[in-house]
Amino acid sequence: MVIGEQRFFKDSMFRTGELRTRKSLITTELVFRFDQVEGTIEAKMVDGSLMYLDEKEVLYCKINYEDHTIVFMPIQLPKRKEMILAQVIYKTNTLQLYRDIKKKITPKLDHTKDNSTILVGEVQNDYHYYLRKNNSDALTEVEIDEKSFIKVLPEKKHRIHQLFKGKDVEKLTLSKLVTMMGELDK
C-alpha cells in the first residue's frame, strides 16, 4: 500500500531546523520532516542516510518551513504510558496547547482500468489536541470548542465564552487559536 507524500506534514521535503536532545544541540548536521503516519520526525544526515528520532531523547525539534517554524516536543498522553512528539501550538509556564498531528490509513479496495482490484490506503488526518494549565498538571484532551475548554478551565468560563462567541470553530486557523490562547493566558 503506497501513500507517498501524503504521510508527511506540509510536504515530503526535508527542511532545516534545530534538534535539542538530552545530550546535544544539532543545527546544521541534519535536515528534518515529520512523518504523520509514524508520528515521528525523520532526519537525514549529510551523507544521505535516514533515521527516525527517538522521542524519548528529544527535548524539542524545530522545523523551518517557508513562512514559519513548527516546534515539536514530546508529551505524555493522558492515561497512556507512551510519549508522542506533538506540535506545540501555545506554550507558557501557565498554559499549554499541543496538537497530535498523526494521520491514519484506512485500507480501501480500488478498481483499475482493466477491472482488477488493488488495495490502496486512504490517508486522513486524525488530529487530537491536549491542554495543560501549568507545567505540573497532566494534559487533558480537548476539542477546539467552548464547552471543552470550559471543562478544563472552569475559572475562565466567562473569558472562554467571549473568545468563542460568533466563531465558526471549523474555520478557526492556528494563528487565531494562538491569539485566543494568549488572551486566555492573561
Quickly list DSSP for the chain. ---GGGGBSS-S--B-EEEEESS-EESSSEEEEEETTTTEEEEEETTS-EEE--TTTEEEEEEE-SS-EEEEEEEEPTT-S-EEEEEEEEE-SS-EEEEE--EEEEEEEEE-TTS-EEEEEEEEE--EEEEESSTTSPPEEE-SSHHHHHHH-GGGHHHHHHHHTT--GGG--HHHHHHHHHHHT-
Residues in CB range of 15: below 8 A, 6 or more apart: 31, 32, 33, 63, 64, 65
- Asked if the model's pLDDT at residue 1 lies above 60, the reply is no
> Is 139 within 8 Å of 152 (Cβ atoms)?
no
pLDDT for the residue 100 = 94
- Asked if the model's pLDDT at residue 125 lies above 90, the reply is no
Give the mean model confidence (pLDDT) for residues 111-131. 80
- Asked if the model's pLDDT at residue 70 lies above 90, the reply is yes
- Asked if the model's pLDDT at residue 15 lies above 90, the reply is yes
Give the mean model confidence (pLDDT) for residues 73-86. 87
- Asked if the model's pLDDT at residue 107 lies above 60, the reply is yes
pLDDT for the residue 119 = 66
Nearest CA among 39, 40, 35 for reference residue 53: 40
Separation of alpha carbons 84 and 72, rounded Å? 10
Give the mean model confidence (pLDDT) for residues 134-157. 91
- Percent of the chain topping pLDDT 90: 55
- Asked if the model's pLDDT at residue 138 lies above 50, the reply is yes
Give the mean model confidence (pLDDT) for residues 116-144. 85
Give the mean model confidence (pLDDT) for residues 97-107. 88
- pLDDT confidence tier of residue 2, bands split at 50, 70 and 90: very low
